[in-house]
A and B are shown apart, each in its own frame.
Chain A
């Protein structure tokens, strides 16, 4: 492959503004017209699609459940033919907007263990991801879900947190799961603080949390307004402080 795909996964406690930060990063990346961007909404709440104002036809879990019901019916499945069919279905599940494609993972509903199906889907997602310049995964707090349902390895694992003690604890847990328990393979890990009201908090957190601080976003009325009115973050103004901060973070990731 000529170009190397960069993969970013964002994780964090619910309610810290993780999806808004993901959406701002995607808005920034999609502004680089020479790049192809794949956004993966891996949060079962499927909030990223809403934040980007992009509808979805079906999720990866819809595809997974269809395949599982076929297997339950006892229909024979040649592995190569199944992989090709999943690849077809997955591409059909992509919603495309200019140089941006969005894939929603959805919520697993089938009971029982279908590790083989998950493994096939993960292989296909990995293969698809290789066609893009940047892949951004909006995950949930449980970092192991990225490994289990999306892909095995990411370049940048980013914990999003507000300045609350609960948010910090979740960030520490993410680092523990990722580093000590090897719940997901990553090359670099960092943290972005969101909804900061007092710069002094940033200083204290930087001193006490053993995770690289990639940047911080202040409490922002414009982000709140976009959230409240369900406006697409793809329309977020380039000149806004939050956008410029996110731009700087992405450039520091050498993307």
Chain B
């Protein structure tokens, strides 16, 4: 008996499978210049809610509005896709470059379970909130998901105390793993040059559009798919299309 496409609870919410493949190729092409680390499990001191790093105190900034920046989070229910705790870094680590300002690309890959039409949007928002909840002494982060940009600063003091991508990755991983539906977290950080970050941005653009489409689908009571700016993504990403059909059916459209 064919599966009813509207029975969304039986679907695997793997919206980004193609992007996982392309990202793998992207990292492999740069493997000679890449370093692999494990996320540091140690606790970093809290910033006690004061997380602004002014330029006077700043050792390095990543992805400022004056340079290239891209940041996305992708999830999958396929455990083979995510190597828990692994950090791939293409480019210099924090504080190892003479430049105080570096372009920045960040991809967080998480392995999840139990996603369905009823929880996928809330869970996406919960996962998105993790990076904003980081309270690490000497680390400031500002991000706008609308622009797919993330801008961070690391203070001189934090750098002297050993802040690095392994510390950042470790703290983020701890934050994600507090969600009982997240089982593994992997990171790709890119600081090599603007071209590499822009290429990463191009690869992940569809992820943002898929999330924007989902955002629109879940936040608007009625939507005319023919008029929607994301109808190309819904048509292309099969799970999104099924999600849309299921929601339309629930709403009696």
Interface residues of A (CB under 8 A from B): 1-3, 36, 76, 78, 80-81, 84-85, 87-89, 91-92, 96, 98-99, 101, 128, 130-132
Contact = CB atoms under 8 A, between A and B. Distances in A.
A96 B55 contact: yes
A131 B55 contact: no
A225 to B, nearest CB: 29
A76 B219 contact: yes
B216 A88 contact: no
Nearest to B56: A98
A35 B97 CA distance: 29
B217 to A, nearest CB: 10
A107 B113 CA distance: 50
Interface of B: 48-52, 54-56, 65, 125, 128-129, 132, 142-147, 149, 151, 215-216, 219-220
Given A1-B49, A78-B215, A80-B129, A92 B65 contact: yes
Contacts of B145: 81, 84-85
Given A130-B50, A131-B51, 4 more contacts: A36-B54, A84-B145, A85-B144, A91-B142
B37 to A, nearest CB: 28
A81 B143 CA distance: 9
Nearest to B217: A76
A76 B217 CA distance: 10
Contacts of B132: 84
18 contacts: A1-B49, A3-B50, A76-B219, A78-B215, A78-B219, A81-B145, A81-B215, A88-B149, A89-B144, A91-B142, A91-B151, A92-B151, A96-B55, A98-B56, A99-B54, A101-B52, A128-B52, A131-B49
A84 B131 CA distance: 11
Nearest to A83: B132
A85 B150 CA distance: 10
Nearest to A96: B55
Contacts of A98: 54, 56
A74 to B, nearest CB: 10
A221 B42 CA distance: 59
A124 to B, nearest CB: 11
Contacts of B143: 84, 88
Nearest to A132: B52
A101 B201 CA distance: 31
A73 B215 CA distance: 17
Contacts of A2: 48-50
A96 B54 CA distance: 7
Contacts of B151: 88, 91-92
Contacts of A36: 52, 54
Nearest to A2: B48
User: What are the nearest 8 A-B pairs in CB distance?
Assistant: A131-B52, A88-B144, A85-B144, A88-B142, A96-B55, A1-B49, A2-B48, A98-B56
Contacts of A130: 49-50
Nearest to A101: B54
Contacts of A88: 142-144, 147, 149, 151
Contacts of B49: 1-2, 130-131
A81 B146 contact: yes
A132 B53 CA distance: 10
A111 B143 CA distance: 29
A92 B151 CA distance: 10
